[in-house]
Structure 1
Amino acid sequence: MHDEVYEGSDDPLAGRSAFAEFVDHWSGRDGFACVVGHDQGEPVGYAYGAPLSADTTWWANVTPPLPAEFTAETGARTFALSELMVRGRWRGTGSAKAIHDELLRDRPEERGTLLVHKAHHKVRGLYERWGYRSVGETVPFQGAPRLCAMVLELHG
């Protein structure tokens, strides 16, 4: 699925080796969750993530800098959505929202977060329609593009 979705992409985070590193990183965390959506038995997309640990660097490079009370993590405060992907044939069908909502449905954390390419205005707009708000921009590690950090309140 990953190879199909990112075929021909020049996204530095889209390569198979980067994908494997991200999956290994997130799947080894406490609270890891993954949802795969299906249509008549055929996989259409997936989403995965895990709670941010108390020693996370997720917020460290966000500009403008965020207040300490916002960035304080406990290991149970914020669920980080690492990846949400839908195959081309199912884009625009509501599959992404359904997969997203299923992943976050029963999460005990108070909020969710994700990073999205700053240049991907349509994708950012989609997340905003789902209730996310941008809290700043970041380049989380060397070689990464400029990303928007977004947050979604999960309860109340």
Structure 2
Amino acid sequence: MTDVCVELRHYDGGEVAVIRGLLLDVHDEVYLGSEDPLAGRDKFAEFLDHWADRPGFDCVVGYEGGEAVGYAYGAPLSAETSWWSTIEPCLDSVFSRETGSRTFALSELMVRAPWRGTGLARRIHDELVCGRHEERATLLVHQAHSKVRSLYETWGYRVVGAMTPSFPGAPDLYAMVGKLGARQ
């Protein structure tokens, strides 16, 4: 399967209600059979709603023949964010200072199985971050997923530290950062 016929569409936080079910359905398909305690539909719906309520939220959905085949979403980190506070080793204050417009946080990127390996994930990612005004992007990746981390590294991201969120069932994660201008 190729991604040449995939149409990419943007949605802001006010439009999430229209596509919420679609996002949850794609998530359910991607995580079918996962033993990850955070992969359930209800838990993911909480994360989605949390991100969709953030100022500057943006979501890109890829469609082929009217069918959703993947998506990515995120939002800028606020000036009050705790995103960097538990990263080890501790990051210096200049690096971790946020203004509300310095760093775009990529929260989710997922592509349905038939479209994996086609370059679609990169297209969706690039469409999401292209034209953003922030200077950099950040994301979290499971430490156990070395192939995913390596893929992000080929896209210009680098690991800046490790962390484990404080909620029950949270995985060990790497925090990664990439310059937005490098992918435009």
Instruction: Please give the TM-score of this superposition, normalised by the length of structure 1.
Output: 0.97
**Corresponding residue number in structure 2 for 1:18:** 43
Q: Say how many residue pairs are matched.
A: 156
Identity fraction in percent = 65
1:89-145 C-alpha deviation (Å, 9 max, x unpaired): 000000100000000001100000000000000000000000000000011222211
| Residue 89 (str. 1) matches residue 114 (str. 2) | yes
**Corresponding residue number in structure 2 for 1:155:** 181
How far does residue 147 in structure 1 lie from its aligned partner after superposition? 0.2
**Corresponding residue number in structure 2 for 1:124:** 149
Q: Select the residue among 34, 39, 42 that pairs with 1:9.
A: 34
| Structure number, greater radius of gyration | 2
CA distance in 2 between counterparts of 1:104 and 1:13 reads 26
Unaligned segments of structure 2, at least 5 residues: 1-25
How far does residue 14 in structure 1 lie from its aligned partner after superposition? 1.3
Q: Which structure has greater helix proportion?
A: 2
| Residue 133 (str. 1) matches residue 158 (str. 2) | yes
Unaligned segments of structure 1, at least 5 residues: none
Q: Could you say what the CA RMSD is over the residues aligned between the two structures, in angstroms?
A: 0.9
CA distance in 2 between counterparts of 1:55 and 1:20 reads 24
